[in-house]
């Protein structure tokens, strides 16, 4: 074929690349055209997988062996394809039967009776990123003409265009399929939410839709729902799910709160403390917030560092669906809580009028007033700005800890306080409640700090006692606030004198102490003297000088000198029973205001 005919034949070759057929068919047609217009008898296109050490046949043209089974791969150590790709230039083997450089071709040439081989690199890769090469074979010795090499180069270029077009089409098809999956997933999520399904079943659906491991945090129902483990070498799926809902729950909830508040130093990672060993995972935290209140979050553990726009769209759909679900739970809880609050307020404020009616209303919220009920009041009203979030923290901890200790309760929340009622008064029940309250104080203390007081009230045995115990708890909280206390408090922690002080105005108590022994106390503190201790010992020993001196290890003259100085410097006089009582009361109150 002359040069003009070869050039004109390129139109036919080009048309082969636009048939709309599969890539394998198009490449096979190009090989056939190369053989037809350059007098080669057969050929193939291979993808070279250097990592595995093999070349894989993608397309082949060999009319002489139609229907025969030919090798689908070659060892690169015996093939010229790798050499052609490394050099980025054709490899010409005039007679493969005599080649010692490529023994694989030599053996195949002898078996299939061919001679000349031409291997040319292609400027494209297969779907796995492996470079490709064209191989042509002649049964007779074929000298390579320049026009043939140029013609084959043009065919290779057209083949590369076809391959790249196929890659783009595959990417577009994949993107379209992915978009369709996103819309389908969005529809499924919407249908689930509208069907009033549970948060657990919705989380299961989200896990099926999202390819990455995730944890759904539902603060309205105090649950963490985990899917696949982000690292199965760290924990299996089952162990991860158990740990997330158990020992890791507080850590994860704190991270969610800190994320919303902007307190995380590394918002793109979650560090888990696993018994002293720290494990760090890359995460994306999507909070679920309704009316400025955080109701939960979706924590995704991405397998790759980049999220596509479709991944973000799918994640946003999942977050929106879960937000609707937890908002529904929140509304239900708020409605039930309102009814419960009204009933319990009637009890603690003594507003009930009909005994039978209040008992029936209490039963409707699961509270049997025939059973003894211990009242415990959690007060966190010290900081009004954080009362709402603190109430949510208290409710979550109550639900979690009561479940751990298998203790049921009924509660109401109002004005920075959560009032709880625990049924029963057996020894085992009291023991479990004691552990529960201690655990609550520990957990909530880490979150709320010194703003929390837990007043442990008495047992309510009849309807009238609820208002009495409520006032007792209120008194403990007022005393605690007056003297800077926090944590769990009971009447036994104060004693009768403290409760007496609590019933009075604390400013009046401090004024009385200041007027009686305030000057002497300040003098002791400033000059390291011991007048107050001397007076206390003297009163404790019944104002007997020798006994007091012996108790303090002083000479009796020294004791009398100190008493005289007290009279002169501070006007302290204990000559009469009334003055002795006043001085002793002032000393006791002074100690109380310092230690409580």
Q: What is the CATH number of the domain that holds 394?
A: 3.30.70.600
Q: Which residues contact 144 (CB under 8 A, 6 or more apart)?
A: 92, 118
**Angstrom distance (rounded) from CA 317 to CA 182:** 9
Q: Are 493 and 360 members of one domain?
A: yes
Q: What is the pLDDT of residue 594?
A: 61
Instruction: Indicate the angle between helix axes 577-595 and 506-513, nearest 10 degrees.
Output: 120
Name the DSSP letter for residue 375: E
Please indicate, yes or no, whether residues 57 and 122 belong to a single structural domain of this protein.
yes
Tell whether 213 and 115 lie within a shared domain.
Answer: no
Q: Structure tokens of 344?
A: 């319990």
Domain co-membership, 234 together with 313: yes
188 found inside a domain: no
Which CATH number does the domain housing residue 311 bear?
3.30.450
pLDDT at 506 (0 to 100): 60
pLDDT for 374: 94
3-state secondary structure of 235: coil
- Shared-domain flag, residues 376 and 312: no
Let me know if residue 409 belongs to a domain: yes
User: CA 506 to CA 592: how far, in whole Å?
Assistant: 11
Tally of domains within the chain: 4
CB 539 within 8 A of CB 563: no
Note whether 50 and 137 are same-domain residues.
Answer: yes
The token duo for 115 is: 């001679």
Beta-carbon contacts of 184 under 8 Å, excluding residues fewer than 6 positions away, are: none
Residues 353 and 239 in one domain: no
CB 574 within 8 A of CB 586: no
| Residue 193 domain flag | no
- Shared domain for 448 and 555, answered yes or no, is no
Residue 118 CB-density burial (10 A; 0-12 exposed, 13-18 middle, 19+ buried): buried
Domain end, chosen from 446, 479, 501, is at: 501
Please list the ranges in the chain whose pLDDT falls under 70: 1-10, 13, 16-20, 65-70, 78, 193, 196-199, 305-307, 330, 332-337, 385, 495-508, 592-596
Residue 183 vs residues 146, 179, 192, 325, 500: alpha-carbon distances, Å: 55, 6, 14, 19, 69
Boundary-marking domain end, from 155, 170, 185: 170
Q: What is the model's pLDDT at position 467?
A: 93
Q: Give the global pTM.
A: 0.47
Same domain, 510 and 493: no
In a domain, 275, yes or no: yes
Helix spans in 80-233 (H): 81-87, 103-112, 146-194, 199-209
Question: The domain that contains 531 carries what CATH number?
Answer: 1.10.10.2840
Residues whose CB falls within 8 Å of the CB of residue 220, separated by 6 or more in sequence, listed in order? 295, 296, 326, 329, 330, 333
Residue 192 within any structural domain of the chain: no
Asked whether residue 243 falls in the same domain as residue 293, the answer is yes
**At which of 464, 481, 501 does a domain end?**
501
What pLDDT does 596 receive? 45
- Which domain range does residue 495 map to? 349-501
| DSSP structure class, residue 516 | I
Q: Convert the pLDDT of each residue in 407-436 to its tens digit.
A: 889 998 888 899 999 998 888 999 999 999
Identify whether residues 162 and 76 lie together within a single domain.
yes
387 lies in some domain: yes
Asked if 530 and 524 touch (Cβ cutoff 8 Å), the reply is: yes
- Look at residue 340 and tell me if it is in a domain: no
Does residue 343 lie within any of the structural domains? no
Are 234 and 360 found together in one domain? no
């Amino acid at each position: 074929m002359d040069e003009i005919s070869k050039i004109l034949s390129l139109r036919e070759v080009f048309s082969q690349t636009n048939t709309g057929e599969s890539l394998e068919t198009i490449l096979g047609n190009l090989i056939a055209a190369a053989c037809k217009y350059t007098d080669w008898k057969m050929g193939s296109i291979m993808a070279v997988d250097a990592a595995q050490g093999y070349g894989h046949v993608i397309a082949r043209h060999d009319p002489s062996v139609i229907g025969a089974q030919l090798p689908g791969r070659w060892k690169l150590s015996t093939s010229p394809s790798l050499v052609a790709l490394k050099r980025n230039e054709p490899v010409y083997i005039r007679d493969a039967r005599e080649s010692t450089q490529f023994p694989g071709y030599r053996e195949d040439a002898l078996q299939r009776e061919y001679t000349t081989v031409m291997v040319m690199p292609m400027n494209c890769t297969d779907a796995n990123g492996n470079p490709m090469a064209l191989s042509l074979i002649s049964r007779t010795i074929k000298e390579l003409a320049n026009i043939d090499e140029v013609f084959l180069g043009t065919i290779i270029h057209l083949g590369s265009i076809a391959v790249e077009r196929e890659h783009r089409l595959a990417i577009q098809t994949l993107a379209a399929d992915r978009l369709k999956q996103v819309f389908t997933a969005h529809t499924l999520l919407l249908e689930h939410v509208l069907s009033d399904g549970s948060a657990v079943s919705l989380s299961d659906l989200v896990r099926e839709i999202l390819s990455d491991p995730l944890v759904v945090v539902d603060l309205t129902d105090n649950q963490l729902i985990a899917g696949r483990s982000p690292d199965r070498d760290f924990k299996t799926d089952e162990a991860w799910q158990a740990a997330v809902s158990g020992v890791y729950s507080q850590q994860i909830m704190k991270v969610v709160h800190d994320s919303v508040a902007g307190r995380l130093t590394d918002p793109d990672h979650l560090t888990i403390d696993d018994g002293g060993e720290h494990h760090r995972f890359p995460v994306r935290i999507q909070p679920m917030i309704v009316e400025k209140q955080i109701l939960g979050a979706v924590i995704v553990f991405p397998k790759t560092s980049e999220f596509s726009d479709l991944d973000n769209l799918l994640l946003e759909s999942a977050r929106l669906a879960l937000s609707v679900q937890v908002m529904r739970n929140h509304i239900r809880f708020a409605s039930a809580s309102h009814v419960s609050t009204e009933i319990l307020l009637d009890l603690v404020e003594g507003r009930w009028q009909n005994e039978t009616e209040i008992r029936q209303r209490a039963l409707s919220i699961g509270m049997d007033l025939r059973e003894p009920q211990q009242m415990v009041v959690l007060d966190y009203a010290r900081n009004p700005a954080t009362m709402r979030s603190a109430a949510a923290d208290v409710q979550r901890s109550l639900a979690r800890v009561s479940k751990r200790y298998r203790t049921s309760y009924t509660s109401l929340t109002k004005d920075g306080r959560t009032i709880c009622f625990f049924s029963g008064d057996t020894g085992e029940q009291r023991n479990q409640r004691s552990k529960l309250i201690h655990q609550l104080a520990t957990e909530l203390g880490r979150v709320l700090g010194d703003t929390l007081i837990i007043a442990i009230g008495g047992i309510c045995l009849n309807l009238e006692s609820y208002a009495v115990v409520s006032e007792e708890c209120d008194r403990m909280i007022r005393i605690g606030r007056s003297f800077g206390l926090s944590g769990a408090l009971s009447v036994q922690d104060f004693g009768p004198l403290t409760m007496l002080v609590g019933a009075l105005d604390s400013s009046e108590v401090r004024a009385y102490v200041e007027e009686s022994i305030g000057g002497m106390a300040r003098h002791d503190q400033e000059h390291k003297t011991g007048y107050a201790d001397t007076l206390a010992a003297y009163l404790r020993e019944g104002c007997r000088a020798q006994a007091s001196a012996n108790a303090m290890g002083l000479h009796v003259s020294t004791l009398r000198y100190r008493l005289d100085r007290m009279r002169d410097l501070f006007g302290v006089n204990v000559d009469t029973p009334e003055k002795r009582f006043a001085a002793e009361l002032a000393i006791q109150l002074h100690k109380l205001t310092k230690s409580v």
